[in-house]
Amino acid sequence: MTKRLFYILTLSLMMIILCSCELGNVSSNYDESKIKVTLVHNNGTKNSILYLDKGMIITTLQEPMKEDHLFLGWYHEDEKWNIQEAPVIEDMTLSAKFTKIYKDDLFSYVLNEDNKSYCIIEIKSNSEEITIPDYYNKRPITKIKLIKGTSCKTIRLSDNISEIDQTSYKYLIGKLIINSTNPYFEIIDSCLYSKDKTIFYSYMNTSDENVEFTVPNTVKIISSYAFSMTNHKIINIILPDSLTTINSFAFTDAYIRTINIPKNLEFMDGSAFYDTDITEMNVDENNEHYKSIDGIIYSKDETVLIKLPYSKDYVDFSIPLTVKEIGPYALSDMLINQLHISKNVEKIHYTAFLNTPVKSITVDKENPFFDSTYNDLYTKDQKTLLKMSRNHAKEENKNKILEGVTIIANYALDLGVTETLQLPESLNIIGDSNYVNRKYVGYTPYDLAITLPKNIMIIGDFAFYSIRYIPYIKIQDGLANMPDELISIGDFAFANIHHFQHGAFGNTSVIFNEKSRLTLLGSNAFANHAILYQVVLPKSLKYIPDYLFSCCVDLENVTIPSEVIYISPSAFNETKYKQ
């Protein structure tokens, strides 16, 4: 009986171990006190598991790949999960959702949500002019949502196209031709409107320069990217009283200096004036939703800071006591000397400081949500670094981020402040960076040395992009071993590193060990390394993305495990490696 019981217990233990292996790529640092987030890739890759503190935000996560499929997002119980903002409060499963891509010689398509019509996501033709077809596989083509640009110079819309996704206009400027019979769109004076002229879609005049443009008084909505990339074409835009909505990135890259918000505007996306040089912002005093004070836009009740105007010089700014929320992009594209966060601020959006160097940050001691240490901005519990200041390097502990920090938020790092940076062992997530910041006024790249802590799980897009020298991984036996807990590496995360230093570091290899849990790897992640000769990829990896090691001209020795099921044709462009 005792022997039989022993066999039963042994068999049960083996089943538990096998089930654990099937359930996912399990961390060696499992902690039952943490929240368990299971990532279901739905592409042949084993599930990945994140162990996070309760209330943590995943912050960033690389998109999974699936051949001939388009990634739609991470979903929790049929609802798309907001990776950048939603806190994790209980064990949960996030599942990758894909839709199949259909192709012919000229276009790539996906089915719309109604499963009765198609959407064009890529125009592959290089011809001078191309006409969007009415049908594909006997179903109407009703939408355009481009995921990349096109070299085609002229695109004629079919009359079936009823929707052009807002992000597509930046690829279509100056290229669209619309028939007079089209029931949905109309081009007037090189501008694209809805047929009833209530929606302004895109300013497409590429010839005139330094013009003043008046939006017609029929327009109620200015679409996303409507005036983006107009550069010096427009120097002033007059908005009509009929306007009620300004959507995302509507004026990005526009050269305008002054904007007057009309009285009937009800909604303005926080990114509408991102990356502009607007120095004067005014709101009609009769507007019921917004107001301007000293050229700064607030919500009408002054509880939300909407946008600070551009300044070419460093400025001091104290958040007014009325403000409870610093909105999306509110302090972006600025040069801030001293920033003071008042006691009443409860929320700071993760894009609030995008592309803005801040020399020093202080927080009112009575603020229950935020804290400043070494001139940097943290959450009150000091577990999330929200913004690194330029004066970080002047403190005694200039090379350190506080021990206990688990997240470096998106756009928090300012890598122009120090020659070495000590990341805490507690760190789990490094958020996205903005590569534009590497070229920002006042930024001088340093020879930067960083060691990744062993518990790091996620590294975001452009995290360490374009650092002149970075021994970015811990050196063991002369080889660069990536941390085993690392699950996700974003696009361009370690790209464009101009040179490695020989000698003490000898960092010319990227090696993932047997126990590596890496499953998500972004395009161009290690591209353009001047001296990189050896790469060992992990067995956990199934997909090798576009341009992964492109332009690593000395790369010759590459170990690709048999578990890999897809290798992008561009993954090893301009290297010595021969597949």
Condensed to tens digits (0 to 9), the pLDDT of residues 137-154 reads 999 999 999 988 888 888
- Distance of alpha carbon 317 from alpha carbon 308, whole angstroms: 10
Cβ distance 559 to 535 under 8 Å?
yes
Place of tokens 């930046």: 170
- Which letter, b or e, does each residue of 495-516 get, where b requires 16 or more Cβ atoms within 10 Å of its Cβ? bbbeebeeeebebbbbbbeeeb
Interstrand relation of 154-157 and 129-131 (parallel, antiparallel or unpaired): parallel
**Percentage with pLDDT > 90 across the chain:** 61
* Residue 163 Cα distances to 99, 108, 186, 195, angstroms: 19, 17, 13, 12
Q: What is the pLDDT of residues 317-330, one digit of tens each?
A: 999 999 999 999 99
pLDDT of residue 38: 97
Q: Is the pLDDT of residue 208 over 50?
A: yes
Cβ distance 52 to 428 under 8 Å?
yes
Task: Kindly report the average pLDDT of the chain as a whole number.
Answer: 85
Q: Would you state the structure tokens that stand for residue 350, as one six-digit string?
A: 């993760």
- Helix (H/G/I), strand (E/B), else coil: 71: strand
**Residues 6+ away with beta carbon under 8 Å from 499:** 468, 469, 530, 531
- Distance of alpha carbon 270 from alpha carbon 355, whole angstroms: 15
Most confident of 91-95, 147-151, 309-313: 91-95
pTM of the model: 0.89
Q: Is the pLDDT of residue 10 over 60?
A: no
Q: What is the pLDDT of residues 456-503, one digit of tens each?
A: 999 999 988 866 544 444 333 334 678 999 999 999 998 887 554 433
Rounded mean pLDDT, 506-522: 85
Q: Would you state the structure tokens that stand for residue 537, as one six-digit string?
A: 């990829």
Q: Would you state the structure tokens that stand for residue 380, as one six-digit string?
A: 């009150």
Select the more confidently predicted residue: 348 or 416.
348
- A 10 A CB-CB count for 312 gives 9
- Distance of alpha carbon 218 from alpha carbon 195, whole angstroms: 11
99: nearest Cα among 89, 111, 88, 108: 111
- Distance of alpha carbon 177 from alpha carbon 155, whole angstroms: 6
- Distance of alpha carbon 146 from alpha carbon 172, whole angstroms: 9
Q: Is the pLDDT of residue 453 over 50?
A: yes
- Helix (H/G/I), strand (E/B), else coil: 116: coil
Rounded to 5°, the CA angle 48-550-514 comes to 35
Write down the H helix ranges in 145-303.
169-172
| 171 DSSP assignment | H
- Distance of alpha carbon 576 from alpha carbon 552, whole angstroms: 8
Phi and psi based region of residue 170 (left: phi greater than 0; alpha: psi -120 to 50; beta: remaining):
alpha
Place of tokens 């990189």: 532
Considering just the CA atoms, what is the radius of gyration of the chain in Å? Answer: 26
Query: DSSP states of 18-55 as a string?
Result: HHHHHH-B--TT--TTSEEEEEE-SSSPPPEEEEE-TT
Place of tokens 């060990």: 513
| Residue 2 backbone dihedrals phi, psi, to 5 degrees | -65, -40
Rounded to 5°, the CA angle 169-172-177 comes to 115
| 306 DSSP assignment | E
- Distance of alpha carbon 146 from alpha carbon 142, whole angstroms: 13
**Residues 6+ away with beta carbon under 8 Å from 113:** none
